[in-house]
Structure 1
Amino acid sequence: MQNDLKVAIIQSDLVWENPEQNRINFTNKLTAILEPVDLIVLPELFTTGFSMTAQHLAETMTGDTVSWMQRLAKQKKAAITGSVIIVENGSYYNRLLFVFPNGTIEHYDKKHTFTLAGEHNVFTAGKNSVTIDYKGWKIKPLICYDLRFPVWSRNTEDYDLLLYVANWPKVRVSAWDTLLKARAIENMSYCVGVNRVGLDGNSYEYSGHSGVYDVLGERIDQLIDDSEGIDIVTLNKNQVTILREKLGFLYDKDSFTLE
């Protein structure tokens, strides 16, 4: 088990519907990370922006972006995660890919598709909750709109890190800030949220506000909210264990199961 987990969060603008250029841009950003890290987190739909033209942009699990993530994970000796448009068995998914340093992949398909933007008309909603074991840490990955639904993130697996990737617009960013902090507090877990900046092809503005929150809901990253940037934050598993045992809040959680 590894007590400290070094996480690099990348808050970036995205080139609308241009996977090749986005891969180039993120290659440059990842190359700029000179110190060793354990996990690199990219935004939601980091190769396209929040586009609904899935039929033109979708890739397969053997496509260029998956191969790119595997190559960079091996080069950086770090896991890389972020979501992309994937087509599988004729259905489109907003799929978070968690690529291990050895190239193996686990994935999570976005459960709550964003009806306000018509995402539910294009993408198939995921059904499975996922917990990833990495270097002795239990990581629960979720995507953007999932943040509004606390039952789906409920900490029944004793995970250590709750992870959200997003294209969360500026107009509702106060909810993003509030809910990230709440998810950390209620689940007694580190909570990492990585959001994009800039304008998309539909002229929606994104203001970042990516953040890392500790078990008590204190923000511990140093990113500037509305600018591109990279920050590296060291998470400490002992802090999670000590505070959970000291305060015992998770022992008192309501007992129910999801259908």
Structure 2
Amino acid sequence: MKATLIQMDIKWADSAANQKAAEQAIHNAPKSDIYILPEMWSTGFATHPENIAESDGKSLAWMIKMSKELDAAVCGSIAVYENEHFYNRFYFVTPDNEPQHYDKRHLFTYGNEHHSYTAGDKRVIATWRGVRFLLQICYDLRFPCFSRNNNDYDAIIYVASWPESRIHVWHTLLCARAIENQCYVIGVNRIGIDLTCKYNGSSEAYDAYGRIMVSCDDNRATAMTFDIDLEKQDSFRKKFPVLNDRD
């Protein structure tokens, strides 16, 4: 399976411009099975989502359209208003099935995300073309118990708005999650500046050995593609069965 990381700048609260930028980046990338966008890719990370979060499904509709056109999965998180609640919702869209979603479990209290958003309570694994993806959002990366591999997934996707000031933590924890869970880990971060933070990207993917498969340049909108090889990963897990000894 080919996976493409879409590292992009995000214009504040301008879903039309961000859809256009994402579409251009996807079309300029190699043909893939899955395209991964950052956290709140359609608006920027909004801790005060009033008048910003989507209730009309416009960005989700765009993801569905792109998925069908590309015959590929398209995923990333969107600020959503539904049933009088705000959610930081990670949509996983495929051409043939209803979209799956994961609502961010660990809200970023340091940035007051918990004051406006409702936390999710379900762990979500989406399967696409034989690969099982655990869906996670940004701050979830700091909580390894929640993402512990129970032999129920092959890869973790973290979509993020992770600031430049803490980027060392980003690199370290992505690698750690890959090693401890014997899986691929894909981290897709944004670039640019919003109302409070500067972002320098550093999107990357690791294999089960903790080796970097692909890494995006800092501070540049770009797309990078790599191969997910489940046969190789399964062979490593059988040879060195760490997961059998997990707590």
Opposite residue 235 of structure 1, the aligned amino acid is: I
Which secondary structure does the structure 1 equivalent of 2:90 belong to? strand
Stretches of structure 1 lacking an aligned partner (at least 5 in a row)? 255-259
SS of equivalent residue, structure 2 residue 234: helix
Query: How far apart, CA to CA, are the structure 2 residues paired with 1:250 and 1:103?
Result: 31
State the shift of 1:103 in Å. 5.6
In the TM superposition, what is the alpha-carbon distance from 1:226 to its structure 2 partner? 2.8
**Superposition pairs for residues 126-137 of structure 1, below 5 Å?**
126-137=120-131
Q: Could you tell me how far apart the structure 2 residues matched to 1:222 and 1:111 are?
A: 27
> For each residue in 1:75-125, what CA deviation from the matched residue of structure 2 results, as whole angstroms up to 9, or x when unmatched?
111100000011111100000000002362000000000001100001000
Distance 1:95 1:220, change over 3 A: same
Residues 1-259 of structure 1 correspond to what in structure 2 (within 5 A)? 5-33=1-29, 35-60=30-55, 63-102=57-96, 104-202=98-196, 204-254=197-247
Using the size of structure 2 for normalisation, the TM-score is 0.97
After the TM superposition, which segments of 4 or more aligned residues of structure 1 sit over 6 Å from their partners?
Answer: none
| Cα RMSD (Å) | 1.1
Deviation by residue 1:128-176 (Cα, 9 ceiling, x = unmatched): 0011111111110100000000001000143101110000000001000
Indicate the percent of aligned positions where both proteins have the same amino acid: 38
Q: Distance in 2 between matches of 1:157 and 1:187?
A: 9
Secondary structure of the residue aligned to 1:153 is coil
**Distance apart, 1:18 and its partner CA:** 1.1
How many residues are matched?
Answer: 247
CA contact (8 A) 1:74 1:103 kept: no
Q: Secondary structure at the match of 1:25?
A: helix
Q: Once structures 1 and 2 are overlaid, which stretch shifts more, 188-197 or 95-104?
A: 95-104
